[in-house]
Structure 1
Amino acid sequence: MPNVIKSYVKGVDALNRFTGLVTMHLIFVMIGLLLYSSISRTLFDTPINSVVTISQFLMSAYYLLGGGFSMQEDAHVRMDLFYSRWSPKGKAKADSFTSIFLVFYLVVLLIGAISSTMYTIEVGQKTRTLVPYPLTPIKVLMTLGVFLMLLQATSAFFKDLAKARGVTL
């Protein structure tokens, strides 16, 4: 494999690893927020109306920004009827073939995410809740998460292609 591809794979893997490791801590923020809300509602009878909305934003950021890291760690769900019986080269060939469809899907998803984000920015779209929060931050994170997954999918494609050829990246 050319050095430019090796550098790309190394850079994308490092970026998604860093993003995933930082993002995984959002779950603790969300748990703390929900715990605080539960305690304030139960003990002090002062419900916080915005908790559900903020928790949804945090959860969206959590799974969107963690997608590339999940793909890198091979932690996603896979339908495994025959796959586990194949040789590593056979798996790599199948993965590189299916990666083409994944990249196509992520490109279409990225186009939609960019369009949705631009619309939100232009219109100043807000949530339809008691407190109208702007949707721009979560839409930007959505677009960034899809972009990071697209980068990771192409990185995985190059790694699988190299593995199918008997080379390790």
Structure 2
Amino acid sequence: MNRAIGRVAMYLIFVLIAVLLWSTTSKVFLSPSMWTLETAQFVMVAYFVLGGPYSIQLGSNVRMDLFYGDWSPRTKACVDAITVFFLIFYLGVLLYGGLVSTAYSLGYFGDAPFAFLFDLAVTFVTEGRSAAAEALGFLERSPTAWRPWLWPIKTIICLGVFLMILQSLAELFKDIGRLRGVID
């Protein structure tokens, strides 16, 4: 799943280039567009967050190679298996904050954002889009002049962090397999 999403997210760089090209062209020859800066930021966030799990899957993530490169595969697997717990903890905290922020952006201001999101998803699946739309409150908007809704990008961030957690768990299982001698 991360491979497919990452391969699609790769092409967001071309969307980003098109938005920035339009921004430059409109500022020089036309009146400047208000939407280009935030759209470029949103596209870059989606590119980064959805491409991260794919990068980890390929092993192309950045590592500090001061000592790591000289270690044996078994030592690397042991260190990776230990440090992935720190990554998963960090991503868990990030996902928690992202889900709370997403619930807020969908108009929920109470103390149970996870129950709200769960009920919203169940309502969407069982009763349809219009019933789910009735459950929403005041949708959060950006404070800029363009004022786009923020829930789409916050949802993408939560999806990307969730996929990163899944990929981190897959890497943990691979490292355990290397330590047990099952994987070379």
TM-score above 0.5:
yes
Hey, what's the Cα distance between the residues in 2 that align with 1:128 and 1:138? 15
Amino acid at match of 1:90: T
Name the structure 1 match of 2:8.
22
Name the structure 1 match of 2:91.
106
Hey, what's the Cα distance between the residues in 2 that align with 1:116 and 1:41? 33
Aligned pairs for 1:42-81 within 5 A: 42=28, 44-81=29-66
Hey, what's the Cα distance between the residues in 1 that align with 2:30 and 2:88? 50
Hey, what's the Cα distance between the residues in 2 that align with 1:106 and 1:70? 16
Name the structure 2 match of 1:40.
26
Question: Does 2:163 match 1:148?
Answer: yes
Amino acid at match of 1:45: L
Residues 33-55 of structure 1: CA distance to partner in whole angstroms, max 9, x if unpaired? 1112212322x332111100110
Hey, what's the Cα distance between the residues in 2 that align with 1:37 and 1:97? 45
Name the structure 1 match of 2:151.
136
Offset of residue 108 of structure 1: 1.4
Q: Which runs of 5+ in 1 are unaligned?
A: 1-14
Hey, what's the Cα distance between the residues in 2 that align with 1:130 and 1:72? 39
Q: Which runs of 5+ in 2 are unaligned?
A: 108-137
Residue among 140, 160, 163 paired with 2:175: 160
Residues 24-80 of structure 1: CA distance to partner in whole angstroms, max 9, x if unpaired? 1001011011112212322x3321111001100100111011111111112222122
Q: Which runs of 4+ in 1 moved over 2 A?
A: none
Percent of pairs with identical residues = 46
Indicate the larger mover: 58-67 or 68-77. Answer: 68-77
CA RMSD of aligned residues (A): 1.3
Indicate the larger mover: 96-105 or 139-148. Answer: 96-105
Amino acid at match of 1:62: Y
Question: Does 2:106 match 1:121?
Answer: yes
Amino acid at match of 1:24: M
Query: How many pairs are equivalent?
Result: 154
- Larger RCO: 1 or 2 (CA < 8 Å, sep 6+): 1
